[in-house]
Structure 1
Amino acid sequence: MHVRNIFWNLLGLGLPLLIAVVTVPNLIARIGTERFGFLALAWGLIGYAGALDLGVGRAVTQRVSAIRGYAQESDIPDVIATAVKITATIGLAGLVLIALGGVFGGYDLISRNTVSKNEVIVSILLLAVAIPMQAISATYRGVNEAYLNFKSISILRVFLGAANFGGPFLVALYTDKLYWVVATLVLSRSIALIAYRHFAYKCLPERLLVQPGQYKKEQAKKLLEFGGWVTVSSIVSPFLVQADRFFVGALITAAAVTTYVIPYEITVQSMILVGAITTVAFPMISNLINSDPEKAKSVFDKWLVRVVIVMFCAMCVLAFIMPFILNLWVKDYVAPESVMVGRILCLGVFFNAIGAMYYSYLHAHGRTKITAIFHVVELPIFVGLLYVFIGEFGVVGAAVAWSLRVCLDAVLLALASCSRLTSNYF
């Protein structure tokens, strides 16, 4: 696995964090904790929208990686065209559903005191526009990953990270209206879509650009066979990751979301190392499985051990210095419970890192069904844990519920990766 590719991924994931460190405290000061809570929910919804692509984005990475350099390479333009049509269709459907939900009562799901109903409705409508752009972007990002074009992806991630935090901050200098803040997120996604498409087609050899690709039913079938179960994970998994903040908002207040999200972001952003590794490992292992399965397993084992060691040390240090980080970063804008939330989440993030490695390994082998089944099983368990623990312990309970869920996920994925029995049935 090329360290250079991992470096570019780390750069793309890490630089936006520096922007967040600078802008978030000032952003909270200008728009208040309640509006920032709604902004955090908007970030969550945008992230969720990126996964609503029927698993086609990841299927494109797997499919293109598997045939690149082989006789079927001429199918790649058709794979891309087919994937774009599928993701555009599901994205437009998502736009309609979110827009209707926002107009017909969605604005009342989160308790609010200072944010008007109109602000929330307009913001939801704006977010709906971003859904098809996010879905289609997943296809073009998949092409870039299949060709190991991580430099371009990283440049775009830096831009999106800057826009995620810097855009709302710049707007907040002039107005605290939620819809203007959210509009910056939508604008950045439209620019990113154009860039992802440009970089994707630059990856293709000239011989594949002679004739534009066309929608093909056989390609759609192959993508959806892989992506079908990924779809289940794509719908359920983001909910498993983001549901905690929405439950906090619904069961407590939007302001409480800020109390929870700040330590959450500090801890979960440490996953950038794992994200950088799995993004590079997935297309590489997918390609090696065809030519050298033993080497594929060896590459995975080596990086798994490294991730375990690094993340264990990092989470221990982070848990110890959590109060210092919070005091240095946001000072009076979060409640005292945030320290405990952050420390509990450190344990969860460690297990989440292990789970992410096994998740990528299983998908590289095309075993998407088992991961989807695990996520479906975990969903009602997680919802029940959130409802009970938040009701009993507030934001600390949300952290406990999230950490228990990712621990269970890591154990299940590890067992599936090591078990020959599950590979026979899933």
Structure 2
Amino acid sequence: MRVSHIAWNLAGLSVPLLVAAVTVPALLDTLDKEKFGLLALAWGLIGYAGALDLGLGRALTQMVASLRGERRLVEIPDTLATASRITFVIGLIAGTLIALFALLGGASMIRTESTPEAEIQFAIFLLAIALPAQAMSATYKGLNEAFMNFKGISYLRAVLGIINFAGPYAVSFFTTQLHWLVSSLVISRIISLVIYKHLAAHCLQREPETQQPASYSPRIAKNLFTFGGWVTVSSVISPIMVQSDRFFIAAMISAAAVTTYVLPYEVVVQSLVLVGAISTVMFPGLSKLMQEKPDQWRAYFRKWLLRVAAIMMFVCVFLALFLPIIFKLWLGENMDYESLIIGRILCIGVFLNSIGSMYYSAVQAKGRADLTAKIHIFELPVYSLALIMLAVHYGLKGVACAWSGRMLVDLILLYYCNRKIDK
């Protein structure tokens, strides 16, 4: 795993955070607390849409990386064609269901005081359009990762991340209507699909064996779903657990309360970009190494695990100690004391999650996506119950405790699974 790959990946993840640091306080000043909370929900739904490829992007990365390690390059074009066709159909179905949800009055489920229901409904329609594009983008990104094209991915991710925050900010100069704010997110996802597809085609051009007509293959589809089927479970359930806290807050408390929770959440959880940069690069490299040199992957994994643990320990302790100063400099008078408590609770969960993410990548690189899926199936009802009970008794701080508690359970189970497959 080259440090340059990590650096490019980290750059693509970090640049949007710098833009967010500038635009979020400005958006808070321009929008009321409720409207910003609704925009945060839109960001959450767009983020979840990446899981609508049902794990096939992850499965494609694992399969193509393995095919490259075994030099079976002629199978790659059909693998990409099969995965992209499946994700297009899935995204189209998901977008249709979201649109029907809006038609049937789903907007009324969100507690608001000043935002018209029709405005929320129109925004949901727009988000439905983005779902197929986001799902297919995850598939083409998977092929780029398998070819280690992290430079291209990082450029696009940086631009997309900038638009994610700067788009609504620019729109807010002209209007604060929710559907216009959301439209910038939708347009950026459609453009990103086109560019991801172009980057994938460029990757294939590097290998002469891949320059042949590609077609859908039922056999490859079966192989993708053998691995991707279990990844599908994780890809659907895991984002639900990650994003459900803010939607639960919006439904049970208020859209305004989402802002109080999501601000410390974004500050603290975005520190995981470093872990994401490393694990994303490590996954295809580890999958390939397990095929080429099966006696070396354990030492390779342990080296990066210890590095991540040391770095994230420092980061989380730093955030917990200096969060009041960070909030004061960033938000000024918009700072909420409850947000400080929430942020410190989440720091514990972030550290645990950073270690768990490394074990997650190792288990899936070994081809045992079934184990991570079974963990998420177990966690979903337990976490949901804990979320409800703690929220009822302790409010937003209880929600933060439920989130961090799940990360502890996740780490313990992933560590056990890694030990199991390593025997």
TM-score normalised according to structure 1 size: 0.97
- Tell me which residue corresponds to 1:333: 334
**2:61 counterpart of 1:70:** no
- Tell me which residue corresponds to 1:124: 124
- Tell me which residue corresponds to 1:419: 420
- Tell me which residue corresponds to 2:61: 61
2:112 is paired with a residue of what secondary structure?
A: coil
**Structure 2: runs of 5+ lacking an equivalent:** none
Q: How big is the shift at 1:297?
A: 1.2
TM-score normalised according to structure 2 size: 0.98
Residue-pair matches, total = 422
Moved more, 339-348 or 328-337: 328-337
Do the aligned residues in 2 keep the contact of 1:251 with 1:390 (CA within 8 Å)? no
1:111 is paired with a residue of what secondary structure?
A: coil
Q: How big is the shift at 1:385?
A: 1.2
2:72 is paired with a residue of what secondary structure?
A: helix
**2:282 counterpart of 1:281:** yes
- Tell me which residue corresponds to 1:256: 257
**2:146 counterpart of 1:153:** no
- For residues 313-361 of structure 1, what are the alpha-carbon distances to aligned partners after superposition, in whole Å with 9 as ceiling and x for unaligned? 1101100011111111112324210000000000000000011000000
- Tell me which residue corresponds to 1:182: 182
Moved more, 102-111 or 369-378: 102-111
**C-alpha separation between the residues in 2 aligned to 1:227 and 1:159?**
28
- Tell me which residue corresponds to 2:168: 168
- Tell me which residue corresponds to 1:35: 35
Q: How big is the shift at 1:54?
A: 1.8
**Mapping of 1:3-402 within 5 angstroms?**
3-68=3-68, 70-204=70-204, 205=206, 207-208=208-209, 210-402=211-403
**C-alpha separation between the residues in 1 aligned to 2:119 and 2:27?**
18
1:9 is paired with a residue of what secondary structure?
A: helix
**C-alpha separation between the residues in 2 aligned to 1:337 and 1:5?**
38
Do the aligned residues in 2 keep the contact of 1:259 with 1:338 (CA within 8 Å)? yes
**C-alpha separation between the residues in 2 aligned to 1:231 and 1:318?**
33
**C-alpha separation between the residues in 2 aligned to 1:134 and 1:212?**
25
**C-alpha separation between the residues in 1 aligned to 2:165 and 2:220?**
38
Do the aligned residues in 2 keep the contact of 1:33 with 1:333 (CA within 8 Å)? no
- For residues 93-130 of structure 1, what are the alpha-carbon distances to aligned partners after superposition, in whole Å with 9 as ceiling and x for unaligned? 10111111112121022110111011100000000111
Do the aligned residues in 2 keep the contact of 1:344 with 1:403 (CA within 8 Å)? yes
**Structure 1: runs of 5+ lacking an equivalent:** none
2:245 aligned partner, one-letter code:
D
Do the aligned residues in 1 keep the contact of 2:96 with 2:128 (CA within 8 Å)? yes
1:224 aligned partner, one-letter code:
F
**C-alpha separation between the residues in 1 aligned to 2:335 and 2:295?**
49
Do the aligned residues in 1 keep the contact of 2:73 with 2:210 (CA within 8 Å)? no
Moved more, 101-110 or 238-247: 101-110
1:396 is paired with a residue of what secondary structure?
A: helix
**2:384 counterpart of 1:410:** no
Q: How big is the shift at 1:249?
A: 1.0
**C-alpha separation between the residues in 1 aligned to 2:184 and 2:379?**
34
**C-alpha separation between the residues in 2 aligned to 1:88 and 1:332?**
45
- For residues 110-160 of structure 1, what are the alpha-carbon distances to aligned partners after superposition, in whole Å with 9 as ceiling and x for unaligned? 110111011100000000111100111111100100000000000011111
1:333 aligned partner, one-letter code:
N
Q: Share of identical aligned residues, percent?
A: 50
1:212 is paired with a residue of what secondary structure?
A: coil
2:51 is paired with a residue of what secondary structure?
A: coil
Q: How big is the shift at 1:71?
A: 4.2
**C-alpha separation between the residues in 2 aligned to 1:7 and 1:191?**
24
1:293 is paired with a residue of what secondary structure?
A: coil
2:66 aligned partner, one-letter code:
A
Cα RMSD over matched residues? 1.1
